[in-house]
Every structure is written in structure tokens, then in C-alpha cells.
Amino acid sequence: MSGPLAGLRVVELCDELGQLAGKLLADMGADVIKVEPPDGSAARTVGPFVKDIPGPNRSLNFWYHNTNKRSVVLDYAHAEADRDHLRRLVATADVVLEGFEPGYLPSLALGYDDLRGLRDGLIMCSITPFGQDGPWAHYRTSDMVSLALGGPMNMNGYDPEDAPGAPPIRGHGDQGYNTASHYAMHGILAALLWRDRTGEGQYIDCSMHEALSCTTEVGMPYWLYNRQNVIRQTGRHAAAHRSEPWMYLARDGRRVLVFGVGRDNASWAKIKEWFQSEGFGLHFNEERFDSPQNRQPARGAPEAREILEEVGRFFAAHDSDYVYRGGQDRGQSWGVVLAPDEALDDPHWHDRGFFVPTTGEGLEGEALMPGAPYLFSATPWELRRPAPRLGEHTSEVLSELAARP
């Protein structure tokens, strides 16, 4: 094991909420032991499934979020003997990560107060929809419901002319669960650094609602300073006032996202030359386009709107990859609006070894999936094993425990 967390043991009791945090720890070297009930983590019932055939070992959602973990089945909800196994396992662990409703683990005598005495310096992190207390602590959510309450959804949507009366839109990919896990990571790692210095463990209360509520960028400052709620716009930042479109259709039917055109004079000169060499933007030579302020979108300048209209005409005459690369080569931070799998076709990510092969039940051979979120020079991300089959490591882990004095 080469990751920065090698030697760290984590006991994970998580379904969809929290399994990403377990993965992030496991992928950097921690020995993450996922303790599952006899019928498996509920995440094993989430599709898509291999060839659309459900089964505890065929969920691609589970495959992705449980890399590098070991799976141990313990019926801790019903069997005292298994609760005892779990306690003995915790006695060997550095971190316990759980995602149950507040009060559930304490009701099984498996709460932090029950477990802390088993292991010096134990860190326990509870990830819940709303935190351990407060009037909503026992309210129920899904990823979408949390994205609604936390605020991200009300930032995403449509201009009225694109979709009259459209609701706030939820970005897919379980980004509410993901954001909760990202913040849980911060808490666990900060606690670990404190333990490095003092040997002290502690309890961490991670609320998905709070994690999302501070992940809405300009939305909250506009309220705090102007008492203004931003308005939703198609494919671009919600804002106090309506701004120019950012997405333009290319000839091949893909959209290209344009976040400014020629913001500085040097890159503007390159764009102008490129467009004009192909017969577009001939009016860009007019002096009024020389001012960066006039070219800046969302400031009401007619030049900004005219430039974007010409961008629309230029894109419609070319394929998305051509305008994307042509723009980037000229200092423009443009991007094609791709489906996630279309990144597999871009050799840049393969240059960096980003996509990695995995396998599992029902798949002959291997399939690629996203790999490291960061490249560490000394202690790299590593895929040691694919997601575990249900209970794959029960006897292995119980034997390890039995072998301990």
C-alpha cells in the first residue's frame, strides 16, 4: 500500500450517503472495512446494473463507490454475537464512518459513547441529512430533496424563453451525497491531524444540509449583502439580472460553453484574426470593440452581445472539437458540453492515466471508470481491488480478529 493513509483502518457503515467518503479514504491507502447487513448495503440495489440484471454484486453505482474496500457481513441489528464482532473490529480501527438516522447506533449500544472506550483516539464521523439535532434531524431526504433544501437546485434552471415555467433543476450524479462526503473528509482528516499531534480522538457531526448550504457560491452573498435572490438562467450562472447566453450549438450538434470571449486584448486579437480569416466578425475592426469593458458580458454593453451572436454563427459553421481547441489555443477557457463518457475519447485524460479498469460479476474482461481525483508524487492514488462482493471478506476479517491476542 502506497497511499498517504496506509496503515489507517476505517470501519464503514454507509449506504449511498457516505460511501464516497469511504472510497476516497480507501483509494488513498486506508483499509476500509465495509460492514453490511445480511442483505447488503442498500447501495447494492441502486442501478444501473451490469446488463440491466439486478443483483447485490452487479450495481455499477456500488462498483464505483466501493473500490478498495473489504466487505464483511454482520447482522448487528439483530444478533448480539455480531454486535460483539463489530465492537471487536472497532477496537482495531482508527475511524468509524456511519450514515444512519441519529440515535440508531446508540439504540444498539454502538454509538460513539459506547465505542470510544474500545480504542484510544477513535474518530467517529456520522453523516446524516440534517445533523444530529434540530427540528429536521429526523426528516427524510433523498439526494434531490437535499439539493432542494440546501439551495443548489434553486440556482439551476432555465430562461423563460427556453422552458416557460420550468422548475429549479437538480444536477444529476448524486451531488448532494457527494458534497456531504467531501465535507466529511475534511472533518475526518482535520481530526486525524489533531490525533497525530495529541493522540486524541473525537466525534464528528456532518450535516448534508449544511454542506450544501455553503456550496452555492454567489447565491448566498447576494442575499447577505443585497437581500436579493438570484434568478435561474439556462446553462449559466444564476444572477441578479439576466445575462447573455453562454452555450452555442456547433455544427455537429454539440454545445460549446463560452465563458467570455477575448477578455484581454492579446487574446482578443487572436480571436479576431481567427474569425476574420474564415470570413466572420468583419465588423470587429470597429474601434468600439477595442475596449475590454465593452467586450465583457453581463455588463450590458451591446458589443458583448454582438460578439456572442457572431460566436454563435461561427460555431454553427464548425464542429465542436474544432472551435473548442481553436479557442483554447487562443487563450479562451471554452469547453464542449460533453456527456461524461465522452471524456473517454479525449487522449489528454489517457496521457494522465485518469481512467482505470475495473471488473465484477457479469462482466467479461474489464471496463474503464474515473480514477484519481489528484496525482500525489510520493504516495499516489491506487486501485488495489475492485468493489467487494457482498461478504467477500467476512471470514478473512473475522480470522484476523480471532488471531489477535
Partner 1 sequence: MPPLPLEGIRVCDLTWIIAGPTATRVLADFGAEVIRVEHEQAIDAIRLGRPTVGDHPTLNNSGFFNYFNRNKKSILLNVRHPDGFDILKRLIAASDILVENFSSRVLESWGLDYPQLRDIRPDIIYCSLSGFGHSGRDLDYTTWGPTAQALSGLTLMSGLPGKPPAGWGYSYMDHTAGYYAASAIMMALHHRNRTGEGQHIDLSQVEAGLVLTGPAVLDKTVNGRSWRREGMPPGNRAWQPAVAPHNTYPCAGEDRWVAIAVMNDAEWQALVRAMDDPEWAGDPRFATNDGRLAHQDELDARIETWTTEFTDYEVMELLQAAGVRAGVCQHAGDRFETDPQLRARDWWHSLPHPELGDCDYDGVVPKLSGTPGRLRSASPMLGADTHDVMRDVLDIPDEQFADLQAAGVFM
Q: What part of residues 304-363 is at the interface with partner 1 (CB under 8 A)? A: 328, 331, 333-344, 346-349, 351-352, 354-355, 358, 363
The Cα 124–Cα 112 span in angstroms is 7
Report the distance separating Cα 209 and Cα 132, nearest Å: 12
Contact flag: residue 265 with partner 1 (CB under 8 A)? no
Beta strands in 270-331 (DSSP E): none
Count Cβ atoms within 10 A of the Cβ of residue 356 and give its class: 0-12 exposed, 13-18 middle, 19 or more buried: middle
Out of 22, 99, 157, 386, point to the residue binding partner 1 (CB under 8 A): 157
- Shortest reach from residue 399's CB to partner 1, in Å: 28
Question: What's the min distance (Å) between Cβ of 72 and partner 1?
Answer: 23
385: Cα separation from own chain's centroid: 21
**Binder among 173, 291, 305, 402 for partner 1 (CB under 8 A):** 173
Query: Of the listed pieces 162-170, 282-290, 311-319, 395-403, which binds partner 1 according to CB under 8 A?
Result: 162-170
Q: What is the dihedral of CA 311, 312, 315, 320, to 10 degrees?
A: 110
Looking at residues 69 to 88 of the shown chain, list those that interact with partner 1 (rule: CB under 8 A).
Answer: none
| Interface with partner 1 (CB under 8 A), residue from 100, 246, 268, 284 | 246
Amino acid at 341: D
Tell me the number of residues near partner 1 by CB under 8 A.
152
Task: State the residue for C-alpha cell 441489528.
Answer: 77
- Asked if 91 touches partner 1 (CB under 8 A), the answer is no
Closest CA to 146 of 180, 98, 108: 180
* Gap between the Cα atoms of 260 and 309, Å rounded: 13
- Please give the Cα distance from 40 to 54 (Å, whole number): 13
* Terminal CA-CA length for the chain: 25
Site for partner 1 in 96-155 (CB under 8 A): 125, 130-131, 133-137, 139-142, 144-155
- For residue 190, CA distances in Å to 107, 211, 345, 351, 393 come to 28, 16, 38, 33, 30
Q: Which stretch binds partner 1 (CB under 8 A): 80-88, 269-277, 284-292, 368-376?
A: 368-376
Task: Identify which of residues 47 and 117 has a Cβ nearer to partner 1 in the complex.
Answer: 47
Q: Select the span of 167-175, 270-278, 310-318, 390-398 touching partner 1 (CB under 8 A).
A: 167-175
In the bound state with partner 1, the residue whose beta carbon lies nearer, of 347 and 405, is: 347
User: In the bound complex, what is the minimum distance in angstroms from residue 48's beta carbon to partner 1?
Assistant: 5
Residue with grid cell 489555443, as numbered in its chain:
329
**Selected binder of partner 1 within 199, 378, 404, 405 (CB under 8 A):** 378
Residue placing its CB nearer to partner 1 in the complex, 144 or 269: 144
Angle between helices 19-27 and 175-198 (to 10 degrees): 50
Least distance (Å) from partner 1 to the CB of residue 348?
Answer: 4
Q: Is 96 helix (H, G, I), strand (E, B) or coil?
A: strand
Q: Which three cell numbers stand for residue 389?
A: 462482493
Using alpha carbons, select from 380, 353, 386, 385 the residue that is nearest to residue 3.
Answer: 380
63 or 314: CB nearest partner 1: 63
Q: Which is nearer to partner 1, 38 or 171 (CB)?
A: 171
* Contacts with partner 1, 180-209, as mask; x by CB under 8 A: --xxxxxx-xxxxxx-xx--xxxxxxxx-x
Closer residue to partner 1, CB minimum distance, 183 or 280: 183
> Among residue numbers 45 through 74, which ones bind partner 1 (CB under 8 A)?
45-48, 50-52, 60-61, 63-65
CA distance 393 to 192: 26
Instruction: Verify binding: residue 269, partner 1, rule CB under 8 A.
Output: no
Q: Nearest distance from residue 151's CB to partner 1, in Å?
A: 6
List the 255-257 sheet strands across, edge first. 247-249, 255-257, 335-336
Of residues 155 and 397, the one with the C-beta less far from partner 1:
155
- Site residues for partner 1, window 7-36 (CB under 8 A)? 7, 24, 28
Q: Which is nearer to partner 1, 81 or 259 (CB)?
A: 259
Stretch that binds partner 1, among 99-107, 215-223, 282-290, 389-397 (CB under 8 A): 215-223
Find the helix or strand (DSSP H, E) in which 207 lies.
strand 202-207
HSE-up of 330 (CA within 13 Å, CB side)?
Answer: 22
